[in-house]
Chain A
């Protein structure tokens, strides 16, 4: 079976003068402390597309997500990321968010003492300010929230609870999608959003994500398992191993990975590819 030629790659090559990619990652390398984790990632994402980044544990999937969001714990050592025509790596995390990048965390952070409502409205207003729009007051915001809560099947009572504090695993993930719904990103990065979810929660979360898909935004789904991709159907699937993308294909690649595992693609996944800096 020959995987079809990914449309995005084909288009990037054919129409590079006319189509501007939303995200263009070139030769990205990154480290945590002394440990090099990304070893030259190349990835192009266009508007309207959903890309799945899969790979075995320790392949650098979450690192890629965190680096794109600007986590200062990760040290970018080389390469470039152009987002919407801007050098992404030069922006602070909050500037990236204001420019439309959203990371749904694998492990959402608990913030005792800050209510969800307050936090969401603060974030929402920061986005509006960045776009030169007027801030909304709590009453106006309540109207915004009503619709968004329905999307992820959450009750208004969760708004008065502290951010993620004491939330179950499923509630935390739904809360991430709620934030995403409120902030309406142009590029959403979902980091292992399926981990720890039962089938009902998985369906709810996926429905939320799908409802937010539009021709003028794009999504990167980072996941270990194919299961999530039954619900959030990707246009492209990439296999990340040893800190670089080893293979790209269509959604069938995910099914093949589910059946065959990762070994056939990445026999030496735990080692950097030949010639890579150690």
Chain B
């Protein structure tokens, strides 16, 4: 497979989209330029340093139909399982990549917060069009492909000084209609000066069919803004998922990201942020749990472009069976970014002798007065703790499960949305707990 030949199957879907009259001219030219770029780049091979541990061959060896029209048969009742028990979140639902207003709940949004689908947004608010593509880097093949093929997604705008207390949930769900299909959701989140909001981005599935999600979310935080941005990736068992988040942070802004990933056959999540103003900082956390033959890759990149910024990062992986985890944490500190305070931690728990992880911290520091640390550990269940629990009568299986849950507990604890935290804790607990064991997490 050469990169060029892999591009060929995407030409026809792109051309079918090129004549889309609903898109304004700037979007059409953005798409065209992105497809040209994608055609030049092709798909990355493992010779590409950023994809060294993840071969995209399994994605590329299939051909996909572009799901351009609204499809699917999803009812409200189907979605309850993805709502984390929350009753009052603002929810925008996308079925097989297209906005489903009848399944969404956006009526209670406070003034100062607007959520719409991409098509409505680029039609109604031409000033927003300029923001699309302003951050995401089409030198990355998958981002170029997304930009070329984008048809729908969410646009979230938070006005200056707004404090949006309830989370805004962007729920992307697939059903059986998505089989052999591809979706390129494109989201834009704009948070105004000193505003605060929470956006939860979920990718979930009602089908075990094979499909391909390639999402891009651009996030901009103005001076003093705070955004909690939590991603829940629970794609179907045979799905491929590539998701890129590109954030830009102005002075004193705080971006709190969490990537929870358990789904898909082969998945890659990129979380990139650039610190463009002093005092800004991200907290990038994540937890991924794999089994079977799953492959899950996270790449994070924090660009310290200004002085006096901080960054915090904690990623944990729990790998069973023959699964493969990848973590690559990049931190760039520009020459002017003095007094940078960065800390990165990556821990992996291997539950089987055949699971493996490739962890690669990557710090490139060009300023001299900085404090940057990183640590990566790969381990197994602590035998001392296991014996301690067994000595209290707890059988080996349950002790292993409790210790496995315990490994994940501290990173889950960082979630600042209670319903989501409890729900993901329960999901994690259940994953390592027999139905016969107790189901309640006490805290």
Contacts and interface: CB of A to CB of B under 8 A. Distances in A.
B395 to A, nearest CB: 5
Contact of A114 (B384, B387, B395, B403): B403
B442 interface: yes
Given A115-B442, A115-B443, A160-B443, A94 B406 contact: no
Nearest to B408: A113
B238 interface: no
B392 interface: yes
A69 B398 CA distance: 18
B393 A94 contact: yes
Interface in A240-256: none
Interface size class on chain A is 35 or more
Nearest to A165: B406
Interface residues of B, number: 29
Given A92-B396, A138-B440, A138-B442, A114 B406 contact: yes
Given A71-B387, A118-B442, A160-B442, A112 B409 contact: yes
A103 B387 CA distance: 11
B410 to A, nearest CB: 6
A196 B440 CA distance: 35
A111 B389 contact: yes
Interface in A212-258: none
B43 to A, nearest CB: 39
B403 A93 contact: no
A91 to B, nearest CB: 11
A126 B393 contact: yes
B59 to A, nearest CB: 35
A109 B409 contact: no
Contacts of B442: 115, 117-118, 121, 138, 160
Interface string B388-418: 1111111110110011011111100000000
A113 B399 CA distance: 13
Interface in A107-134: 108-115, 117-119, 121-123, 125-127, 130
A79 B23 CA distance: 84
Name which of A70, A113, A127, A135 has the most chain B CB atoms within 10 A of its CB: A113
Given A94-B392, A122-B394, 10 more contacts: A92-B396, A94-B399, A103-B391, A105-B388, A111-B385, A111-B389, A113-B407, A114-B409, A115-B442, A118-B442
Interface of A: 69-73, 92-94, 96-98, 102-103, 105, 108-115, 117-119, 121-123, 125-127, 130, 135, 138, 160, 162, 179, 183
